[in-house]
Amino acid sequence: MKKTVFLDRDGTLIIDKVYLNDPDQIEYLPDVFEALVLLKNAGFQFIIVTNQSGVPRGLVTIENLDETHRRIRKEFERHGVEFVGVYYAAYSVESEHPMRKPKPGMLLQGAKDHGVDLSKSWMIGDRVSDVIAGARAGCKTVLLIGTEAVPKDAPEEARPTIYADGLLVAAKEILNN
């Protein structure tokens, strides 16, 4: 069983363009390559888990979504980092689909497909729904500061293990945990 870092995509690895449909517009957030190299060197594998409600809205095509993920994987491979899986939930915000975060379906499927020890794994994202999905799957969690704050009256599963100002800080905190 492998320790894994599950990563949200938009706002975590790349700049959130809100319904990114043009793979030429991918822009990486600062220090993402260095952060994942640190975690890789500590024995973690990586899986992307991303909600993509732009697909059912007709704003993002599956072809462009797949090409975006192909390019992201290729760019990280240039830096020595492999994603063993990329999972996306192409369902509407209103859907109760089990794969759509905050439900843990993508993480559970990734764990099943890639031999993940969820108790030794982490979910990193920029939204409370990422934290909840990670907690529900049995992972420790990181909320990247800047997109969403945890409401004061939020349930325990919405409270991350770590708050971090960027992926590199998150990686260093995970290694210190």
Beta strand spans in the chain (E): 4-7, 45-51, 83-89, 122-125, 140-144, 162-164
| Residue among 86, 81, 9 nearest 45 (CA) | 81
- Confirm if 160 and 124 have CB atoms less than 8 A apart: no
Pick the catalytic residue: 8, 31, 66, 113? 8
Q: Is 126 a catalytic residue?
A: no
Residues 6+ apart with CB under 8 A from 42: 175
Question: Could you tell me the two tokens for 164?
Answer: 């971090």
Q: How far apart are alpha carbons 80 and 92 in whole angstroms? A: 34
Q: Is 113 a catalytic residue?
A: no
Pick the catalytic residue: 10, 16, 126, 153? 10
Residues assigned a catalytic role: 8, 10
